[in-house]
Structure 1
Amino acid sequence: MSASLNIAIVTDAWAPQTNGVVRTIGRTMDELTAAGHRPTILSPQSFRSVACPTYPEIRLAVFPYRRLAARLDALAPNAIHIATEGPLGIAARRYCIRRGLPFTTAYHTRFPEYVAARFGLPVRLTYAWLRYFHSAAQATMVATPSIEADLRARGFQRIKRWSRGVDTRQFRPRPQTNAAPPFADLPRPVHLYVGRLAVEKNIEAFLALDLPGSQVVVGDGPQHADLKARFPKAVFLGQKVGEDLAQLYAAADVFVFPSLTDTFGLVILEALASGVPVAAFPVAGPKDILQEGVSGALDRDLGRAIARALKIPRKQCRNEAERFSWRAATEQFLSNLVLIPVRLFT
């Protein structure tokens, strides 16, 4: 698509949240703008909203349909992409169906597994609802082959691939010296986790390990206080962004990704770009990104994965990260969009 496009992206996840969905959409917006397109974000910031239960930093739009419809009517976009399945996503889906407009969706988050972990609701029920939600889209974008295969097995159709990228200028290898901050006073090796502190991230699988050196946790979330109390030997640094975060990655010896439910894991790419090998379980996301013995180690025993990952040369990790770019990912996104005939908005 070479012509300049007016693209509406509807998302329930947006700043001030810090997560993979927000970062993906934000970087895609940057790339779209740089390519001459005109993306517009429609997020809870523009609507009356309430805090999400157990996640107060997440705002949920309240009865957004009328205002969202007015915004989309005024915008008259060339394409509509619905990024999330929350209140705004539901309203945008309803809007498109009522007006007979084509739209695309994305499957960023494994909500069935998250809901099951938090509330015990059977995953088959949540997947049934998600299958219904995405069934009206002309394309549903997913990040990896494993997630695509899983969704197809569950009856999802019209799936397209939309990969991810990493900023290799910000996240890069830096000189390694034991005396250098930010881990100058910590025993080596430094095992690093970066991400939201929530039950679905399975962080206990990392912190419960008896590892030599230090276990460092970067991030915030509803499990912060509980994890800090239960694992007093771990170092909790809170949420970090920008250069502070990039320095932490580069100073670590191994990055540990214990999640069993992520659809991709942008933090894996950030660690690799920093020259840090990754240890993870052999599940969707990590097994789509990592090459055993080249950029990381996958094992059902996370301790064994960590031991193997620590032996991987840092240069190999950086080389693997350079295969991923936000420009290439955004070109995929653009190729998946379905344009709205002009007559439908006139």
Structure 2
Amino acid sequence: MRIAIVTDAWEPQVNGVVRTLQSVRDVLEDHGHSVRVISPDLFRSLPCPTYPEIRLALASTGSVGALLEAFQPNAIHLATEGPLCVAARRWCLRHDRPFTTAYHTQFPDYVSARSGVPAEWIWRYIRWFHGPSYAILASTPSIRQSLIDHKLPQVKHWGRGVDLGNFRVGLAPHPAMADLPRPIQLYVGRVAVEKNLEAFLKTDHPGTRVVIGDGPARASLAARYPDARFLGAMFGEELASAYGTADVFVFPSRTDTFGLVMIEALACGTPVAAYPVTGPIDIVTPETGALDTDLTAAIAGALTRDRDACARYGRSFTWEASAAQFLHALCPIGEEAEAA
């Protein structure tokens, strides 16, 4: 099967959307499918306002359509709600080609956090963008229900996975963390305002707060919270070692739809502390972490969880299953689309 994936989020960005698309693409290709990723690096682009690490492609409907026509896909998936996928959406509608979309991020809350624009204004755009989609792929029950509540009923499940070759128990302690005062409380991800990282840095549980990742807010947060350790970006086994060295993984975001870092941490045996919001409420179980409106209380609760139980649960998330769900949700071109 020839599958075209159009996305505004791609390398060199480091985030859950990119990692999900890369991982699913790799599995699909291993199974003999041909995957064509149409991404911003193929076009002239401009930095996104307030978020220059993200490039916005200057792509016309014709230029995107030419790439799709040349590939002759059997199915088209639009992964994001940015300008590149808007151009692809326009081409698909103009040529009567069915397509699927995905809801990776609580985009209304994300934009509201960065700009102050009311989230409901952004939901109007979300309804416009996803409305013609054959199916909207969403990762958790709460996100699916949120889309249904906002009059987008054509939702299908698309879960996430863990690279179990990297994220596992038994790795040596990370040298930058091994001798820190315990308990070590770890955050991994973008260091940006929408991740609500300051809520974690303000917690007062004894021990050491560690931040792994980079982003536009790193310098200011490091200056304001000198007791926290900012270790920069890590990948692969080095990141897995950091997960395993930590006593608890803290996920302060209120706007993520899933949170890959949570299941990576769990696969390394580290329990999760988070708010009881979309993402954590669908992933964290009473045996593998703690959810509380008081993040300090969530940390204290998570520290009592059994690490072996966390690792067993984390290993249940696989990219093979995720890729199979993605493939099943696609609408083959030339076949009449049935109701989602």
Structure-2-length-normalised TM-score: 0.96
1:1-346 matches, cutoff 5 A: 5-174=1-170, 181-292=175-286, 294-341=287-334
Could you say if the C-alpha distance between residues 156 and 342 of structure 1 is closer, same or farther in structure 2, counting changes exceeding 3 Å? closer
Q: Could you tell me which runs of 5 or more consecutive residues in structure 1 were left unpaired when the two chains were aligned.
A: none
Query: Aligned partners of 1:25, 1:268: CA distance in 2, in Å?
Result: 18
In 1, are the aligned partners of 2:205 and 2:300 still within 8 Å (CA)? no
- Aligned equivalents of 2:320, 2:257: Cα separation in 1: 20
Tell me the alpha carbon deviations over residues 128-180 of structure 1, each in whole angstroms, 9 at most, x when there is no partner.
11111100110000000000111111111211110000012210112677xx6
Identical-pair percentage: 54
Q: Which moved more, 1:330-339 or 1:239-248?
A: 239-248
CA apart distance, 1:21: 0.1
**Residue type of the partner of 2:277?**
V
Distance 1:342 1:117, change over 3 A: closer
1:51–1:60 contact (8 Å) kept in structure 2: yes
Indicate the SS of the match to 1:23.
helix
Q: Which amino acid in structure 1 is aligned with residue 189 of structure 2?
A: G
Give the alignment's TM-score, normalised by structure 1.
0.95
| Maintained 8 Å contact 1:60/1:86 | yes
CA distance in 2, matches of 1:85, 1:255: 30
Amino acid in structure 2 at the alignment position of 1:295:
T
Give me the whole-angstrom Cα distance separating, in 1, the residues matched to 2:291 and 2:321.
26
Shift of 1:63: 3.4
1:180-215 superposed Cα distances (whole Å, 9 cap, x missing partner): 623133111100000001111111111001121100
Structure 1: which amino acid aligns with 2:175?
A: P
Paired amino acid for 1:257: F
CA contact (8 A) 2:205 2:299 kept: no
Q: 1:342, CA displacement in angstroms?
A: 8.3
CA contact (8 A) 1:174 1:251 kept: no
Q: 1:164 to 1:208 in 2, by over 3 A?
A: same
3-state SS of the aligned residue for 1:312?
A: coil
Off by >3 Å, runs of 4+ in structure 1: none
